[in-house]
Amino acid sequence: MKRNLFTTLLAFCMLIAASDCSRTKTVPFDAEFTGTYNLVEPDSVLCGPGPWFHVIVDCSGTGAPLGEFTTHFDFCVNEEGYYPGTRNVEYMIAESGDTLFITCEGRVIEGRVEDHPEYVVEYWRDPFKILGGTGRYEGATGEGMTDDYNSSEDQNSHHHWTGTITMLK
């Protein structure tokens, strides 16, 4: 009798532990979007001493799991193309209205790499992190890589981000 009770309790505890693991799901994150530069101006007050530029870019695109979405980037970049993650406001708003908070830092590099189209004039391939959000993305985490560029064919920024996102079920 004691053995059956112990076995039942053990099975119950294992079931509860397993259910905690199933409270989240990790899925691929894959987003393609195009940005419009709304502001690019020198700014040593907001960005800090030295030659810094304040940049604001608004984007729209599609991707999984966001569906159709918009993105807002507000950041500082120096003359060498470095954009630190310390002074960024970055988020994506899904078609549902749920917001995903992200951060990214790295460097814009002049030129292109072999797998880019000929019209790429500068690019950045840097890690991004998912920092949570609202609605469906509350408590979300994740990470991935950017594959972004500016083009000689238009005045937009072009973005393709891939990685994973872990969300609460």
Tens digit of each residue's pLDDT (9 = 90 or more) over 1-37: 555 654 554 454 454 444 455 799 999 999 999 999 9
Q: Kindly state the average pLDDT of the residues 49-75.
A: 96
The size of the chain, in residues, is 169
140 burial level (CB within 10 Å; 0-12, 13-18, 19+): buried
Domains of the chain: which residue ranges? Answer: 24-168
Residue 28 Cα distances to 71, 72, 90, 128, 144, angstroms = 18, 21, 20, 14, 10
pLDDT at residue 103 in the model? 96
Position 81 confidence tier, pLDDT thresholds 50, 70, 90: very high
pLDDT in tens, 145-155: 999 999 999 99
Residue 161 pLDDT > 80, yes or no? Answer: yes
Q: Kindly state the average pLDDT of the residues 94-113.
A: 96
pLDDT at residue 16 in the model? 47
Domain at 24-168: CATH architecture: Beta Barrel (2.40)
Position 49 confidence tier, pLDDT thresholds 50, 70, 90: confident
Position 64 confidence tier, pLDDT thresholds 50, 70, 90: very high
Position 50 confidence tier, pLDDT thresholds 50, 70, 90: confident
| pTM of the predicted protein model | 0.85
Mean pLDDT of the chain: 90
Residue 108 pLDDT > 80, yes or no? Answer: yes
